[in-house]
Amino acid sequence: HHFPSATFLTSAPKLADCPADTGLEVAFAGRSNAGKSSAINTLTRQKALARTSRTPGRTQLINFFTVGDPMYRLVDLPGYGFAKVPEAVRREWQKHLAQYLRERRSLQGTVLVMDVRHPLTEFDQMMMGWADENDMPLHILLTKADKLKRGAAMGVLSKVRHQLKEWEDLVSVQLFSSHDRQGVEALNERLCQWLTP
Ligand code: GTP
Ligand code: MG
């Protein structure tokens, strides 16, 4: 797959509005402000394919991008856990997210984006629970790795790997940074595995 050829396809507020559930897709999930949209831009070498923001909660729709062919898609999910969103709205969104993960047949795997400085939050664990229930493979990006010294980042990586020992078959994890592009090849490789029929 040639990710730089990615283009915007459509936005959907809920599962019923998603494009036809055929082909293969990979979703990017994670806490608000973790760096999901930035990771998609880094992967695709496009500055503003996915909208990014310093304000958490920027992405409020499910955004679909195609890679070369409409049968291959990247999906930018709204962040979860954004505190300023009213509780009722948050619950509604959790319902849509859970439903998407449960019912979307073209979904091959989910990239779970975590800030390397705050890995495995309560929300991440909720997401991992859903993935587990649905036998959905996860690839964890410990992003913003540029914010830590190399040794500290490696320390977080091995600690998270250790904590995920019992998830071995379903979960992989790597360091990543959208600022210095570290880890982009490893992400590329994982996505190509998932997006190959
Ligand atoms: P929501 O759509 O609100 O859920 O957020 P998001 O997860 O899509 O985060 P987004 O990509 O918009 O990035 C949030 C902020 O973190 C922005 O100010 C980015 O510039 C910054 N950021 C993202 N990735 C990195 C990174 O690898 N390193 C550093 N230093 N900053 C990053
Ligand atoms: Mg976003």
Q: What are the pLDDT digits (tens) for 48-79?
A: 999 887 766 666 688 999 998 889 999 998 88
Which residues are CB-contacts of 133 (< 8 A; sequence separation ≥ 6)? 102
Ligand 1 close to Cβ of residue 146 (< 6 A): yes
Report the separation in Å between the CA atom of 112 and the middle of ligand 2, taken as the mean of its atom positions. 13
Ligand 1 close to Cβ of residue 179 (< 6 A): yes
Distance CA 70, CA 185 (A): 23
The DSSP element (H or E) to which 112 belongs, if any, is strand 107-115
Report the separation in Å between the CA atom of 38 and the middle of ligand 2, taken as the mean of its atom positions. 7
Ligand 1 close to Cβ of residue 53 (< 6 A): yes
Distance CA 195, CA 197 (A): 6
HSE (side-chain half, CA atoms, 13 Å) at 33: 10
Ligand 1 close to Cβ of residue 81 (< 6 A): no
Query: Which CATH number is 74's domain given?
Result: 3.40.50.300
Mean per-residue pLDDT of the chain:
91
Total structural domains within the chain: 1
**Residue span of the structural domain in which 135 resides:** 3-194
Residues with CB under 5 A from ligand 2 (ion): 36-37, 59
pLDDT digits (tens, 9 = 90+) for 77-132: 888 776 677 788 778 888 888 889 999 999 999 999 999 999 999 889 988 988 88
Lookup result for tokens 């709204």 = 78
**Can you give the pTM of this predicted structure?**
0.94
The rounded percent of the chain whose pLDDT value lies above 90 is 65
Which of 149, 85, 72 lies closest to 117, judged by CA? 149
Which of 63, 100, 106 lies closest to 194, judged by CA? 106
Distance CA 113, CA 31 (A): 7
